[in-house]
Structure 1
């Protein structure tokens, strides 16, 4: 019995339609996240004091890094979704694997793709890998914030049934009040984590290669695991052993990798990071 629930706001996932061309909020979230992150990254590397006196790269280096990261996000995100969330379907419909416009992206896949792209880029330019990953770790919550808000606007990735007074009835979620888990994740993985990253930068995290990237990994992983307690699992995957979800399992290596980077950043500095 439904006692109280908030109606889903009448938000069209398509912002503007021009003939067959449709500009969607989700696409804009990726674009704005990348562009704002790029601007903040340029600001960070243009301030040598944040790096202990010498910036490990030039702002111009980040112009090309943005291009590499964009492909890493898109290709990795799609491949991650195919492998982790709907492999059986795509095995039967391989032609749809690259049809990104039909939906289906994985953050963990996008993270892996971006890491690989940035490592390759840094190696090709002679830039310290860990320092470039630190920059990415500081700015990544911006994209997460916009992305989760776009998920809410799309009425997708909604939460588990709830009797909370702020529960929402999503158009595709049945006549059941649900946690607006997209907004929970926007707050945890976006706003809160971004604030933490800025504080860490002020406290000198960028002076120790790998520290900011590690803090991001820990913060994102814990935030995502927390959000998964309120988020409805993808129906084709469902709950896994002991009530865990795919999102929880994929986030554990992110947390462990973050811890490893932070521990490594505590070592005495013996030379340039790589």
Structure 2
């Protein structure tokens, strides 16, 4: 079986290279912009259209900082404690989804407070518009040959150049389908049923945590962390369990709010 061999660089102009990974994020944010405007047109998201660009910029900055800080301080502090000057060397890799989520939560709170929109409403719109981008992000991981799965003899196995000579689960594809496609469909279906803001955002947190937890059984653990609790649980699964518990707790507290929608 030949290893996956997709050039991560689309094209180069002199020293500047355009990579598929970055392009996947651009596509995700373009789609988010379009969907946010659709939500405004539908009256679901009650802000002016001209504030959407400001919202996306705010969320992007907070997401990036959260993703990077979580990777550095939770996933790889043993290395960065001695290389703190490389804190923002993101071209070397190293972003955490769970940290990105924490950044989005803060960004949503900040943007909502600044623009007179409830935090719950901002996060609902973020979940509906942003979840499709998870698919493209995972495709970027797949093209880069990173975040691959565990060794397998299943017919789905693929050889990744950075993963050794043995076939591995293409866990990036599993996550892209579950987190980026299936979860998106679920959230947009829920939108037609809910009677209060916050339910969709909580459903995203629970749904992502659920899908990611089970897909982690097929995904290779982070090399610098390994496994916990007797070699059965990854850091990603621990964080997903926290997400699920937090999502249900937030869903309960949200049901007690006096301003449903």
TM-score over 0.5 for the pair: yes
Q: CA deviation at 1:272?
A: 6.6
Match in the other structure for 1:250: 239
Match of 1:227 among 208, 215, 229: 215
In structure 2, list runs of 5 or more residues that go unmatched.
none
* Alignment map for 1:23-34 (pairs within 5 Å): 23-34=18-29
Contact 1:160 1:178 in 2 (8 A): yes
Structure 2: distance between partners of 1:30 and 1:168: 24
Consecutive unaligned residues in structure 1, runs of 5 or more: none
Superposition RMSD on alpha carbons, in Å? 1.5
Aligned pairs, number: 260
Structure 1 window deviating more from structure 2 (253-262 vs 191-200): it is 253-262
Q: 1:210 aligns with which of 191, 198, 223?
A: 198
Residue in structure 2 matched with residue 264 of structure 1 by the alignment? 253
Alignment partner for residue 61 of structure 2, among 67, 71, 94?
71
1:85-100 correspondence runs (5 A): 85-100=75-90
Task: State the TM-score, normalizing by the size of structure 2.
Answer: 0.95
Asked whether 1:46 is paired with 2:41, we answer: yes
Cα contact 2:196–2:260 (8 A) shared by 1: no
Distance 1:72 1:167 in 2: 36
Secondary structure of the 1:127 match is coil
Distance in 2 of aligned mates of 1:46 and 1:60: 12
Q: CA deviation at 1:265?
A: 4.0
C-alpha change, 1:64 and 1:147, in structure 2 (3 Å) is same
